[in-house]
């Protein structure tokens, strides 16, 4: 959102050119592309999860080289260039964040921007951040102070680390609770939510993809454990800022073809109830989960990218998200004779019998049940014959209606 460039997209690269400087080093702000992004979100009823980063070239403490080349044989470490550096001037960084927030409030209104999630940087525990932890804390505190200066009741959190149990995460949380804030000079850094990322570990086994749902659940639990150790943070909402089966959304090819079909969507359906079960186990509040999906222009159809639609054609993952939106309200209990127990899935995944399970909710006079049939191995297997029994419905209702969706097509059948 703050990266320098003319806005031309590329694989794993985007830019808005929100900040440059004139010949005397004075800030020049340009919100044109940023506004186009936010306008597109809001026009579709989507509220931003605002990532405050990366570093504009004019502010980078090591600006050259600035833009990386993804997919040209570069080593992973070579991708993290001038945009991943600390600022050379923390006051200018803070003013940039303040001006951005201020202009968003002026354009979209306080009521709207108070519903947004403001989050600083991305995965500072790996090479997305090429500074020290202490430099990140200073950057983080400055950004929070600047957002709050423009929007005092803004909802701000972080640190969206790649690994919820990383040493960086532990040091960051300890800093937020115990140490002196760089910007306010007081003990503690205010957080409205805590965020981290969770990935699985799929592998090619005997010529097919075998998902790693157990690795994914273990990553989530490790993040919950890190947060639950601090009584001051345990009650805060938790957001999984990236939540996917593996880490390379921009990679493509035959091994990633499962992203186009029902393997990936079934994986998502199977994992969602278990995320909430893990949150209950550790007494923490899982508020939200974000998918990490890209849209790349001028690419082949169904190239294997992690995306919700390929050249405008929805893939199965989009349909399972559509179906999840049909399950609002309070969660209600579900029993299944063929569900894999949480502990077994957590330890070994789904490698024997398939997981046939459901998540259900009740809202006013509506009961919604999302049923999934999942196995870690992307190979053909028998269909599941499912008998669905619903208890607790009004006995004397004469106007009940059943709407049935299947996520291969996500078309209703009444």
Residues 214-262: pLDDT tens digits? 999 999 999 999 999 999 999 999 999 999 888 788 888 888 889 998 8
Q: Give residue 406's pLDDT.
A: 81
pLDDT band at residue 77 using 50, 70 and 90 as cut-offs? confident
Chain centre to alpha carbon of residue 298: 25
Chain centre to alpha carbon of residue 412: 28
Q: What is the mean pLDDT of residues 313-339?
A: 91
Question: Tokens at residue 389, please?
Answer: 């029994």
Q: Give residue 12's pLDDT.
A: 83
Q: Give φ, ψ of 55 to 5 degrees.
A: -85, 125
Adjacent-strand bridge partners of 182: none
Question: Tokens at residue 32, please?
Answer: 């044109």
CATH of 19-329, one of 2.60.40.4070, 3.40.50.970, 3.20.20.80, 3.20.20.70: 3.20.20.80
pLDDT band at residue 395 using 50, 70 and 90 as cut-offs? low
Nearest alpha-carbon partner for 320 in 367, 362, 240, 374:
374
Question: Tokens at residue 405, please?
Answer: 């969706």
pLDDT band at residue 363 using 50, 70 and 90 as cut-offs? confident
Chain centre to alpha carbon of residue 239: 8
Q: Give residue 213's pLDDT.
A: 94
Chain centre to alpha carbon of residue 383: 32
pLDDT score of 413 more than 60: no
Give dist(CA 134, CA 142) in Å, integer: 12
Under 8 Å between Cβ of 159 and 195: yes
pLDDT in tens, 174-214: 999 999 999 888 899 999 999 999 998 899 999 999 999 99
pLDDT band at residue 68 using 50, 70 and 90 as cut-offs? confident
Q: What is the mean pLDDT of residues 110-127?
A: 96
Q: Give residue 288's pLDDT.
A: 92
Under 8 Å between Cβ of 373 and 354: yes
Look over the chain and give the mean of its residue pLDDT values, rounded to a whole number. Answer: 91
Domain chopping of the chain, boundaries: 19-329
Q: Give residue 397's pLDDT.
A: 63
CA separation (Å) from 322 to 15, 240, 265, 270, 308?
30, 19, 11, 15, 11
CA separation (Å) from 18 to 1, 97, 108, 110, 413?
8, 11, 17, 21, 48
Q: Give φ, ψ of 196 to 5 degrees.
A: -155, 170
Give dist(CA 222, CA 213) in Å, integer: 14
Give dist(CA 1, CA 56) in Å, integer: 10
pLDDT score of 411 more than 50: no
Under 8 Å between Cβ of 317 and 302: no
Under 8 Å between Cβ of 128 and 121: yes
């Amino acid at each position: 959102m703050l990266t320098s460039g003319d806005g031309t997209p590329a694989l794993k690269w985007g830019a808005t050119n929100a900040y440059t400087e004139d010949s005397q080093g004075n800030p020049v702000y340009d919100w044109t592309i940023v506004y186009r992004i936010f306008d597109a979100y809001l026009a579709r009823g989507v509220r931003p999860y605002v990532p405050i980063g990366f570093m504009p070239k004019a502010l980078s403490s090591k600006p050259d080289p600035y833009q990386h080349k993804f997919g040209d044989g570069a080593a992973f470490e070579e991708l993290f260039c001038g945009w991943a550096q600390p600022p050379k001037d923390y006051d200018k960084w803070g003013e940039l964040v303040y001006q951005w927030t201020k202009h968003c409030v002026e354009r979209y209104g306080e009521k709207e921007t108070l519903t947004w999630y403001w989050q600083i940087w991305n995965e500072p525990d790996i090479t997305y951040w090429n500074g020290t932890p202490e430099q990140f804390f200073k950057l983080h505190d400055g950004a929070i102070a600047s957002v709050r200066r423009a929007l005092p009741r803004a909802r701000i959190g972080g640190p969206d680390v790649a690994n919820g149990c990383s040493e960086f995460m532990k040091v960051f949380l300890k800093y937020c609770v115990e140490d002196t804030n760089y910007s306010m000079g007081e003990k503690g850094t205010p957080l409205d939510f805590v965020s981290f990322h969770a990935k699985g570990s799929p592998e090619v086994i005997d010529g097919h993809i075998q998902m790693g749902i157990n690795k994914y659940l273990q990553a989530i639990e490790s993040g919950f454990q890190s947060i639950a150790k601090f009584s001051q943070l345990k009650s805060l909402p938790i957001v999984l800022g990236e939540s996917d089966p593996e880490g390379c959304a921009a990679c493509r090819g035959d091994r990633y073809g499962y992203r186009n079909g029902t393997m990936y969507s079934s994986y998502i359906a199977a994992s969602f109830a278990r995320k909430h079960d893990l949150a209950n186990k550790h007494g923490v509040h899982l508020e939200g989960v974000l998918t990490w999906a890209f849209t790349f222009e001028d690419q082949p159809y169904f190239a294997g990218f992690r995306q919700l639609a390929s050249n405008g054609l929805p893939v199965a993952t989009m349909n399972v998200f559509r179906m999840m939106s049909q399950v609002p309200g309070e969660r209600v209990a579900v029993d299944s004779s063929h569900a894999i127990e949480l502990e077994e899935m957590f330890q070994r995944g789904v490698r024997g019998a398939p997981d046939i399970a459901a998540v259900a909710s009740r809202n006013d006079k509506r009961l919604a049940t999302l049923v999934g049939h999942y196995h870690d191995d992307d190979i053909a297997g028998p269909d599941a014959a499912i008998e669905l029994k619903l208890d607790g419905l009004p006995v004397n209702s004469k106007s009940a209606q059943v709407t049935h969706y299947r996520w291969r097509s996500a078309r209703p059948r009444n």
